[in-house]
A and B are shown apart, each in its own frame.
Chain A
Amino acid sequence: MQFDLVSPERSLASLDVTAVQIPGADGDMTAMADHAPTITTLRPGILSAEGAGGATEYLVTGGFAEIGAAGVTVLAERAMPKADVTQADMDALMAEAKSAMEGASTDALDDASKMVADMAQAAALLGLTA
């Protein structure tokens, strides 16, 4: 199954994989070959693509994933390989999410605080402090 990870600035990965774990907005999902065509938005989290050479993991925030007959395309607003994420990157993302929460109207507050919580969870998965 073809897997593409694309950020607005460039294409980050294009691999042949067996399964992709996607941090969907409504919960994680794993897409394998012949998955029903689905479009889901992403929450901040770890995206993992399992191929012949083991799993490749990325930190992604925002965007959406398109699961089609040809494979999985993830359009992430920001994505970086898990190994490259530093505490400084995490701090910047966290600060951004928090400032969005502070500026949010009551309608958007739920989404914003969920964003912060997701971010904290992603940080914990990476072994960093939020």
Chain B
Amino acid sequence: MPSLKDLKNRIESVKSTRKITKAMQMVAAAKLRRAQEAAEEARPYAERFNAVMAGLAASVGGADSAPKLLSGTGSDQVHLLVVMTAERGLCGGFNANIAKLARSKAEELTAAGKTVKVLTVGKKGRDAIKRDLGDNFVGHVDLTEVKRVGYGDAQGIAKDILGRFDAGEFDVATIFYAKFQNVVTQIPTAQQVIPAAFDSAEDDADGAATLYDYEPSEEEILADLLPRGVATAIFSGLLENGASEQGARMSAMDNATRNAGDMIDRLTIQFNRSRQAVITNELIEIISGAEAL
């Protein structure tokens, strides 16, 4: 049975924890709004870009001269997994879920006899998969200093990946991130960026119906746009991740705040009971002392 003083200290400490989690929740809520806005503002570009690319890819894709970024290297032996996670923890299962998806994909590929290489973006994901995939790490991108993810950051990562592709370091690249559904749901997603894969479902509405003139040729435009496509995909991933992280943190901290509240209630009841017991004890002692006289 803890003493009254211990209980009191305990209650105080849980109270200050609750204050911290409450503050973190509110900060996450504010950041979430901004992250969501950023993700929404970036959507028109990505959508138009993919629509045009899908149209181009459909018309050029079959040709032998198609760029490697679209048709692949002709092999799928070496896979590069780009695992994008947060730089900070305390956001529920956000980092763990992405890491889990990446790990299971890596296991699957290894079982199929493929070589797996891992590029990590974000410290937390790196820590989470270090034990299992530490030997496969080929690089790490640190975004700790970045307050607000810009297209430039995505371009930097894309440049790194494309450099490795040109050097023949891998055949297939897949990015891992969490798609933002709502505050409580973030879906860990794997998306193949090299060779480029496009949703063909989108271009049936108006894209395919229009016959475009291309200046310069289709092939040249495609060769120019494919590397940008990698950057665009990474940028969308980073933005989705940003919103997901804040959403996950918000609900995790909301839970933590509620738990702390429950804990305080429980401890307060225990504290009051103990105090009551102490008073009763004292009374009994006094009464029995008086009786003994």
Question: A residues touching B (Cβ–Cβ < 8 Å)?
Answer: 4, 6-11, 24-26, 29, 36-41, 62-64, 66, 68-69, 73, 75, 77-78
Contacts and interface: CB of A to CB of B under 8 A. Distances in A.
15 contacts: A6-B48, A7-B151, A8-B42, A8-B46, A8-B151, A8-B235, A9-B41, A11-B44, A24-B215, A26-B215, A39-B215, A41-B216, A41-B225, A73-B48, A75-B48
Interface string B178-220: 0000000000000000000000000000000011111110001
Contacts of A73: 48
Nearest to A63: B228
B212 A41 contact: no
B212 A39 contact: yes
B45 A7 contact: yes
Interface string B134-167: 0000000000000000110010000000000000
Interface residues of B, number: 28
Interface in B61-117: none
A104 B124 CA distance: 35
B228 A62 contact: yes
Main SS of chain A's interface residues?
A: strand
Contacts of B213: 36-39
Contact of A64 (B42, B210, B225, B231): B225
Contacts of B41: 9-11
B224 interface: yes
B38 A9 contact: yes
Contacts, number: 78
Contacts of A36: 213
Contacts of B52: 39, 64, 66, 75
Contacts of A39: 52, 56, 212-215, 221
B228 A77 contact: yes
Closest 4 CB pairs of A and B: A10-B41, A40-B215, A8-B151, A38-B213
A8 B45 contact: yes
A9 B42 contact: yes
A40 B220 CA distance: 10
B24 to A, nearest CB: 27
A73 B211 CA distance: 16
B120 interface: no
A77 B216 contact: no
Contacts of B211: 37
B210 A69 contact: yes
Contacts of B48: 6, 66, 73, 75
B214 A6 contact: no
A25 B224 CA distance: 11
Contacts of B232: 8
Nearest to A39: B212
Contacts of A9: 38, 41-42, 45, 150-151
B150 A75 contact: no
Contacts of B151: 7-9, 77-78
Nearest to A10: B41
B69 to A, nearest CB: 15
Contact of A41 (B38, B45, B220, B231): B220
Nearest to A24: B215
Contacts of A11: 41, 44-45
B214 A38 contact: yes
Contacts of A29: 215
Contacts of A24: 215
B214 A75 contact: no
A37 B213 CA distance: 6
Nearest to A74: B48
Given A9-B41, A10-B41, 14 more contacts: A6-B44, A8-B151, A9-B150, A25-B215, A37-B211, A37-B213, A38-B214, A39-B56, A39-B212, A40-B221, A41-B215, A41-B220, A64-B224, A69-B210
